[in-house]
Amino acid sequence: MSELTYLEAISDALRLEMRTDPSVVLMGEDVAGFGGAFKVTSGFLNEFGEDRVIDTPISEEAIVGTAVGMGISGLRPVCEFQFADFVACGFDQLVNVAGKLHYRLGLAAPITIRLPTGGGFAGGPFHSQNPEAWLMHAPGIKVVAPSSPADAKGLLTSAIRDPNPVVFCEHKHLYRRTKGPVEEESYATPFTARRVRQGDDLAIFTYGAMVEAATEAVESLEGASIEILDLRSLVPLDVDAIVETAGRCSKVLIVDEANGTCAAGAQVASLIAEHCFEQLDGPIRRIAAPDVPIPFSPPLEAAVLPGVERIREAARDLLDY
């Protein structure tokens, strides 16, 4: 085991897959000589060469389109977008081409799109979004969002090896502030949920950076048995784990950093309402960002994004219901 940051774990997964599988190719804006916007790929150019670590033009549409061609030709391209917000620029190639390729032509498109997501660092409205719900709506695309270094490595390995297009949502706020034990060898983590904390009185469903926030929020709630389920995979959703947890705990709090309308938490709430209605002892409570652009101002950003205090108060209210 090694102690790695979230960022180091992502870099480690990429490096190990590129060492063991020569079909894995890395591409994106400034990923080669510069090492990527967040230095995830620092040193990769020297180790793997310019044929496998490729700087691209500033065009997300071109990046995804090229990756699709590579994928159907036998390669496994991993594309880095500098910020998740810019996935909108590559939407046509990702949603209408990559996601539908198997359905239309029976061809695999083993491409991975790495999206640095989320706020919490005063990045403003063009560098702080959580666009995973857009992609959950697109057939043929898998969407994962790890919350820990161990899961970041294992889920990225699974994404690269998967024959389908996978969008890998890596939260920028976790890059250097979250650290944990990670196995040194290569391993693949399944696209299923993970129980972070065992409990019986209340279940919190969340993913990404909100797992850490939820964990901190419930630590001070003495006398309460609270479970936290890290969804990890948004497409496919681990329906069995969601239903089992909600039915056993009876009270449900769902936390989304993304805008609340049609977010991942809405789908979780729908599943729980459908399958666990008779087991619930209170209303399904959701916390999410309001449907506004993320502000530049740190105090305004903090007011918009879900945080520890909002989660703690919501949990208290549900426990007292």
- Which pLDDT tens digit goes with each residue over 53-88? 999 999 999 999 999 999 999 999 999 999 999 999
- The whole-number average pLDDT for the span 9-31 is 98
Two domains, one topology: 2-182 and 194-320:
yes
Q: Taking residues 293-311, report their average pLDDT.
A: 94
DSSP 293: P
Bridge pairing between strands 2-5 and 179-182:
antiparallel
pLDDT of residue 319: 95
- Mean pLDDT on 153-157: 98
Of 127, 137, 171, 275, the catalytic one is 127
Cis before 236 (ω within 30): yes
Q: Which CATH class is domain 194-320?
A: alpha beta
Confidence of residue 238 (pLDDT cuts 50, 70, 90): very high
Q: What is the pTM of this model?
A: 0.96
51: tokens are: 């044929």
Query: Hey, where are the domains in the chain?
Result: 2-182, 194-320
pLDDT digits (tens, 9 = 90+) for 192-223: 999 999 999 999 999 999 999 999 999 989 88
Contact 187, 17 (CB under 8 A): no
The DSSP output letter for 25 is: E
CA–CA gap between residue 111 and residue 99 (Å, rounded):
10
Query: How far, in Å, CA of 70 to CA of 53, rounded?
Result: 14
Is residue 275 part of the annotated active site? The answer reads no
pLDDT of res. 73? 95
Note the pLDDT of residue 222.
83
User: Tokens for 162?
Assistant: 């998967």
- pLDDT attached to residue 149: 98
Model confidence band, residue 293 (pLDDT cutoffs 50, 70, 90): very high
Let me know if domain 2-182 sits in CATH 2.40.10.10. no
Q: Is 15 a residue whose pLDDT tops 90?
A: yes
Mean pLDDT value across residues 274-302: 94
The pLDDT-based confidence of 121 (bands split at 50, 70, 90) is: confident
